[in-house]
Amino acid sequence: DTGVSQDPRHKITKRGQNVTFRCDPISEHNRLYWYRQTLGQGPEFLTYFQNEAQLEKSRLLSDRFSAERPKGSFSTLEIQRTEQGDSAMYLCASSPRQGAGDGYTFGSGTRLTVV
Amino acid sequence: AQSVTQLGSHVSVSEGALVLLRCNYSSSVPPYLFWYVQYPNQGLQLLLKYTSAATLVKGINGFEAEFKKSETSFHLTKPSAHMSDAAEYFCAVSDRNQFYFGTGTSLTVIP
């Protein structure tokens, strides 16, 4: 296993379009997280899953955002009716268990540009 | 509530000079603290972490950080900067379910 994979690496979309990103975590990790990083800022928490259950969602995750992890393996993050303010790097991370950040591994991210 | 503050959004050092990146934290419980590095268009790579063991934590690439409870600080240091250290550095605190990141410090290394 080579780490957390995210696809695509880059996405350019027109305002109003829907986009979907995929994250494949490290296979034995049961926790999966999504973060958003805007230019010049640190990553901000969006949501996390334990297996297929979505346990927490940030206020940043508006109604236009939805995340799924249907079989407790890969996850998708969909943004509907994209806005220019959605332009950011979307980072996925996984970890083997609840803990003090042990084994928390980030993917390389998907950079979204909304034009 | 958990939060971190990174003092100095940009730091420049000469190659071979000491690197000091500052981080102060706020936590209502004993904190778990981390430093991550991010290269352009890349994800985050863990440099080191403090999880209530030794207060001086050694990480990768010659970096280390000291947890000082009295000062609520977790500053990152490296004795001698290398050109390859040029990157964005993030301090973070964890509450076991998520990370709270600082706004980052961009390190420039001058040859």
A23 pLDDT exceeds 90? yes
The model's pLDDT over A71-110, given as tens digits with 9 standing for 90+, comes to: 889 999 999 999 999 999 999 999 887 665 666 889 999 9
Q: Tell me, what's the pLDDT at B6?
A: 96
A87: helix, strand or coil:
coil
A100 and B90 within 8 Å at the Cβ level: the answer is no
Name which of B46, B97, B103 is nearest A42 (Cβ-Cβ). Answer: B103
- The DSSP letter of residue A85 is G
Residue type, B107: L
Distance CA A56, CA B64 (A): 32
E strand map for chain A:
5-7, 10-13, 19-24, 31-37, 44-50, 53-57, 65-68, 75-79, 88-95, 105-106, 110-114
Q: Tell me, what's the pLDDT at B54?
A: 82
What string of DSSP letters covers B28-91? SS--EEEEEEE-TT--EEEEEEESSS-SEEE-GGG-EEEEETTTTEEEEEESS--GGG-EEEEE
The model's pLDDT over B23-82, given as tens digits with 9 standing for 90+, comes to: 999 877 778 899 999 998 788 999 999 887 788 999 999 999 999 989 999 999 999 999
Chain B: which residues have CB within 8 Å of chain A? Answer: 9, 32, 34, 36, 41-46, 49, 51, 90, 92, 94, 96-104
Residue A4 to chain B, least CA–CA distance (Å): 10
Per the prediction, chain A carries an average pLDDT of 92
- Contact residues on chain A for B46, CB-CB shorter than 8 A: 104
A42 and B92 within 8 Å at the Cβ level: the answer is yes
- With cut-offs at 50, 70 and 90, classify the pLDDT of residue B94: confident
Residue A60 to chain B, least CA–CA distance (Å): 14
